[in-house]
Structure 1
Amino acid sequence: MKPMCEKVIPSSNSSWRFVKYELPSIDFCWHYHPEYEICLTLNSKGLRYIGDHIEEYSEQELVCIGPHMPHTWHSGANEDESTQVVYVAQIPKVWLDSQVAEHPEMQGLQEMLIRSSRGVLYSSESTAQALCLFQQMESADPFSRYILLMNLLNVMIQDNQSKLLSSRFFTYDDKTDSGIDKLDRVIEFIYDNFDQALYADELAAIAHMSTNHFHRFFKKRTERTLTEFINQLRIGKACKLLINSNHPISVISDRCGFNNISNFNRHFLSIKGCTPSLFKKSLRLKHAQ
């Protein structure tokens, strides 16, 4: 199942979109868009899908999702038939990135926007503050709503308990940093060849570095070793195939670059906390409910 590309239209007299949904349940709608999205769910419980990350959610929670990251929430009706609420802010990447680039006061957002490429879950304290701000947005004029959005972003960047969700990694396109160009080339090569054997000396040559220097460079830039990054990418790709296809696990293992099924199972268990077969079984059970 391929994600659907959603067309986002900004709210009236605004550079971004604010919307409040009131629903009996949340339908599964696997989609993506080029905007940053801040989503707060309230009085709802079910499954949250962000990239290759699948997790149960309940009550209220705040999540930020970067551009082009496939995502959806899925819930059934509440037992008491009460309404589920979803607040959403969708912010064009070009607009927000330019705000950060042009205003020194907003430099603190830069790291958060990079992290959003993997999806970020925020603490209960931040969620409570965000709920208050979203509620104020409902009746606010466009300028006041803009101020409330800045307050919301400020709450999020100060949350030191936030958690990354998806294993997928996107590079930050800052052409003033020559190291980013090198990292882009290496990661593009890894993405294009993840199903084949990958060697550090080969990747170091692409970055025009010695192998030892490349290992240090890669760890500093991605906060993971090269091996960790490649294995997480391969497992992420495997999760997508497990979600979106009916291929046997042995076929998925081979397509994702693992040299044998036991090696695949070991890395999958280490990264996802369960075996591929249990992961696939849990998906069937959740969809059957």
Structure 2
Amino acid sequence: MKPLLFKVAKTNEETVRILQEDYPYFFDKLHYHAETQIMVIVAGEGTYFIGDAIGNFKAGDVFVLGANLPHFFRSSHPYYSTSSTLRSKNISILFALASMGERILELPEFYAVTKLLDRSKRGLKLEGKARQKIYAAAHRMAQKEGLPRIIYLLKQLHKLSMSEELIPLSHINFEPTELPADTKKINVVINYIMMNFNKDIVVSDAANVANLSINAFCRFFKLHTRKTFSMFLNEVRIGHACKMLIEEGFSVKEIAFQSGYYNISYFNRQFKQITGMTPSEYSKAHRARHNKMD
């Protein structure tokens, strides 16, 4: 995986960096950084790519992204409209505990937290009470400075390390890589896919965008995403279909068409292959979870 190396701006006075961002859409370039990041979605929705995982995010979601884990959060299409008044807001907590001392993570008291940070290298999505608590804690942490902020972060990490409501996202850990010369090219290709997944696009279209032959492009894309072009495209499309099913009010035929599928049987096969459920089963499961939460 060779995404963009993103260096987090920080001052010498800050061990824990907190960014409160409010933009029309999220930073949507595939990137990674040396710091662990707690990403709290305050407003906005769209598609995430974390490691080799693709899914949907919405306001209220919370993620823990380990050091050097490639990721991006791309807002939904309406957020990119020049006439849009929609906003994408998040609180990002960035930190590297090793900066507090090389041996701090070797202390027995940090054993559970060290395991949490290791798990976060695959990306973690918080559910249930863990999500609610960290969502609220992030807002409080943003009001703290200096040592009180560090102590408060350590308390939250300790709580998370005890939680069973952390869902791993990526199937594999990612190791840091050097900044590649073709970083811009892979982001151009991903942007093309995200803007056109609901159209009848094929691998040759993406290869043309990258200015590569089809064979060279297939190798290039697999190297950078750990997925084939068709796998990536289908996961983006099915992710969009899941979002439409949750919103309700659409027929399966409408959802398939608006997700880039013109053959219902093929759509149903891809949906079950990726989610493990049929569209109707997925919709029922979502309603059951929603009713349980109510």
TM-score w.r.t. the length of structure 1 is 0.58
1:166-205 matches, within 5 Å, as: 166-170=170-174
Cα pair 1:99 1:106 within 8 Å, conserved:
no
Give the SS at the match of 2:10. Answer: coil
Q: Distance in 1 between matches of 2:215 and 2:57?
A: 27
Q: Does 1:84 align with 2:83?
A: no
1:85-164 matches, within 5 Å, as: 85-92=89-96, 94-95=98-99, 98=102, 100-164=104-168
Cα pair 1:44 1:84 within 8 Å, conserved:
yes
User: Could you tell me which residue of structure 2 aligns to residue 198 of structure 1?
Assistant: none
User: Could you tell me which residue of structure 2 aligns to residue 212 of structure 1?
Assistant: none
Provide the aligned C-alpha RMSD in A. Answer: 4.0
CA spacing shift, 1:99–1:149, aligned 2, 3 Å: farther
Q: Distance in 1 between matches of 2:140 and 2:108?
A: 27
CA spacing shift, 1:102–1:80, aligned 2, 3 Å: same
Letter of the 2:5 counterpart: C
Please identify, of 3-12 and 95-104, the stretch whose mean Cα deviation from structure 2 is larger: 95-104
Cα pair 1:40 1:87 within 8 Å, conserved:
yes
CA spacing shift, 1:280–1:108, aligned 2, 3 Å: same
Give the SS at the match of 1:22. Answer: strand
User: Could you tell me which residue of structure 2 aligns to residue 280 of structure 1?
Assistant: 233
Cα pair 2:5 2:32 within 8 Å, conserved:
yes
How far off is 1:277 after superposition? 3.1
1:123-160 CA-partner distances (Å, limit 9, x unpaired): 13212111221111222121111122112212321220
CA spacing shift, 1:62–1:284, aligned 2, 3 Å: closer
User: Could you tell me which residue of structure 1 aligns to residue 23 of structure 2?
Assistant: 23
Letter of the 1:147 counterpart: I
Cα pair 1:62 1:121 within 8 Å, conserved:
yes
Q: Distance in 1 between matches of 2:152 and 2:67?
A: 21
Q: Distance in 2 between matches of 1:4 and 1:80?
A: 28
How far off is 1:93 after superposition? 5.8
Letter of the 1:34 counterpart: A
TM-score w.r.t. the length of structure 2 is 0.57
CA spacing shift, 1:160–1:100, aligned 2, 3 Å: farther
How far off is 1:42 after superposition? 1.7
Unmatched segments (≥5 aa) in structure 2: 176-186, 192-205, 208-212, 241-257, 260-294
Give the SS at the match of 1:169. Answer: coil
Unmatched segments (≥5 aa) in structure 1: 172-239, 257-271
Q: Distance in 2 between matches of 1:163 and 1:110?
A: 17
Q: Does 1:165 align with 2:165?
A: no
**Percentage of matched positions with identical amino acids:** 22
Give the SS at the match of 1:95. Answer: helix
Please identify, of 110-119 and 71-80, the stretch whose mean Cα deviation from structure 2 is larger: 71-80
User: Could you tell me which residue of structure 1 aligns to residue 46 of structure 2?
Assistant: 46
Structure with bigger RCO (C-alpha 8 Å, 6+ apart): 2
1:21-63 CA-partner distances (Å, limit 9, x unpaired): 1223214121111111111112221001101111111221111
CA spacing shift, 1:166–1:139, aligned 2, 3 Å: same
